[in-house]
A and B are shown apart, each in its own frame.
Chain A
Amino acid sequence: MFDTLQSYLSQKALVSANEFSELLPFLAFKQVPRGAFLFWAGDICHHHFFVQKGLLRSYTIDESGKEHILQFAPENWFIADRSSYYFNEPSAINIQAIEDTEVAMLEKGFIEKALEVSRSFRAYHEKMLQNHVRHQQIRINMLLSATAEKRYRYFTDTYFDLTLRVPQWMIASYLGITPESLSRVRKELARRHE
């Protein structure tokens, strides 16, 4: 049931099979059909979610009703609302399945237990946090200053094959541009390769 997560932690954090078995009490499994919600804005986030199969998106809705996509989470990605999780406050984000999805839900004690039982997990966890902050900084900078094409290229570098799995309007929402702008970018890229 958690083979994908176990394999991921084995490769990335050198968590052994014995160590992983001690983490099992802190895991729950959930299937989320395409279009269904894993988490609703207004709730408090009590889990980190690891995507074993499928694809999730997190997004907010502004006062005019417009959606803004914060993150996509395909296979082997984590997704959560860290503010809500660590500060116990109601979340502003929704997490929805774009494809039929299977997630491992990491309950509150998981990370503390992993830090306790696996010395290598500590280094991995530290690196993951720093990497998360790094990507957030790049993303803020992109949204403040980058051209639409530069944002699109960064998206394809980060997510690579999600262009085949996600509709254009969602990519545009993630990039903070209109679908029309994204169309122009893709047309321009195609024109250069004619």
Chain B
Amino acid sequence: MRTLEAIIPPHRVTGRHLQRVSMLPDRNHLSPFLRLEYTSGKQDPAIAPLERTDVPLYRGAESVTLVYDGTLTYNDCRDNSRKVSPGDVHWVTAGNGLLHHHHCDAGVCQTDGIFRFIQLQINLPAHSKTTRPRQQYLPHDKIPCWHLPEDKGSIDVIAGAYNDVTGSISTFSALHVLNARLQAGARVGFSYPAPFNTAFFVLNGTVTFNDRITINAGQLALLANDNPDFTITAQEAAVVLLLSGAPIAEPVEQQGPFVMNTPEEIYQSVRDYNWGKYGYLEE
């Protein structure tokens, strides 16, 4: 069975109203996944009705937003705009240059103000860093889903595959992103090639890894690259985000919203930004 390498605590918590927890202190831990940020809390409209919610990526990587509560509003420099509602997934490929951001939706701020969402940063391999920008939007009811027997829950297959269900998101490297909603007692098995970097983040509830190790809400379990198979069992109703992907064995240079392979490429990316080559987006 695949073993547990570490339980990673949050390494950075920011935000006065919406608390943002950053789960991947070392970007090499989980290549191609660079960063996982979990934001939750109640937004006070009197203080910051349109708080920026993400650290966007403008070149060389992808930004994935999964909303659990609240609604976010997306805008980019190509005049694209959309709402991302609970259960939806918004997969943005910055490629060779796209200015974009998500805001907490003003309507939600003025009602209950509750927000809960995850944002992933995913690296692109060198040969795809200059791909054309694109966005893939999956409303919740269009996400392929695998149902556990006896109504024990379901697994949304956002990217990659689980059993005979294949996700509809197109990716630039081999990876899997699954969102499991498990009832108490549900036990599910997973299998990915041992070299795939694999981890899961528990949003709600408590689960047991390989029937032995308890992982609590708010913890990220980083798995070893030793064996393919492992199990997750829900001790109580739980929501778990599972990530697995083939590592991109290339150097990573990141400065702010740019993820490239060399310092020279970063320099050029910032220069292009300053000169307006990605277009314009109002702050």
A contact set with B: CB distance below 8 Å: 156, 160-161, 163-165, 167-168, 183, 186-194
Contacts and interface: CB of A to CB of B under 8 A. Distances in A.
**Secondary structure class of chain A's binding surface, majority of residues:** helix
B19 to A, nearest CB: 16
A189 B256 CA distance: 21
Contacts of B276: 186-193
A190 B273 contact: no
A161 B255 contact: yes
A163 B273 contact: yes
Interface string B239-272: 0000000000000000111000000000000110
Contact of B274 (A163, A188, A191): A163
Contacts of B283: 167-168
B270 A193 contact: no
**Secondary structure class of chain B's binding surface, majority of residues:** loop
B277 interface: yes
Contacts of A156: 274-275
Contacts of B278: 190
Contacts of A192: 276
B253 to A, nearest CB: 13
Nearest to B58: A164
Given A160-B270, A164-B273, A190 B256 contact: no
Contact of A186 (B255, B257, B270, B280): B280
17 contacts: A156-B275, A160-B270, A160-B271, A160-B274, A164-B255, A164-B270, A164-B273, A167-B283, A188-B276, A189-B276, A189-B280, A190-B277, A190-B278, A190-B279, A191-B280, A193-B277, A194-B279
B79 interface: no
A165 B256 contact: yes
Given A167-B283, A190-B77, A161 B277 contact: no
Given A189-B275, A193-B275, A161 B280 contact: no
Interface of B: 77, 255-257, 270-271, 273-280, 282-283
Contacts of A188: 276
Given A161-B255, A161-B256, A164-B256, A190 B280 contact: yes
A171 to B, nearest CB: 10
- By Cβ-Cβ distance, the 10 closest A-B pairs, closest first, are A189-B276, A190-B276, A190-B280, A156-B274, A164-B256, A193-B277, A187-B280, A190-B279, A161-B270, A168-B283
Among A156, A164, A168, the most chain B Cβ lie within 10 Å of the Cβ of A164
A163 B276 CA distance: 11
Contacts of A161: 255-256, 270
Contacts of A165: 256
Given A189-B275, A190-B77, A164 B257 contact: yes
A190 B58 CA distance: 15
A189 B280 CA distance: 9
Nearest to B77: A190
Among B256, B257, B270, B276, the most chain A Cβ lie within 10 Å of the Cβ of B276
A138 to B, nearest CB: 18
A160 B276 CA distance: 13
Contacts of B271: 160
Contacts of B257: 164
A189 to B, nearest CB: 3
B24 to A, nearest CB: 20
Contacts of B282: 183
B234 to A, nearest CB: 38
A16 to B, nearest CB: 29
Contacts of A164: 255-257, 270, 273
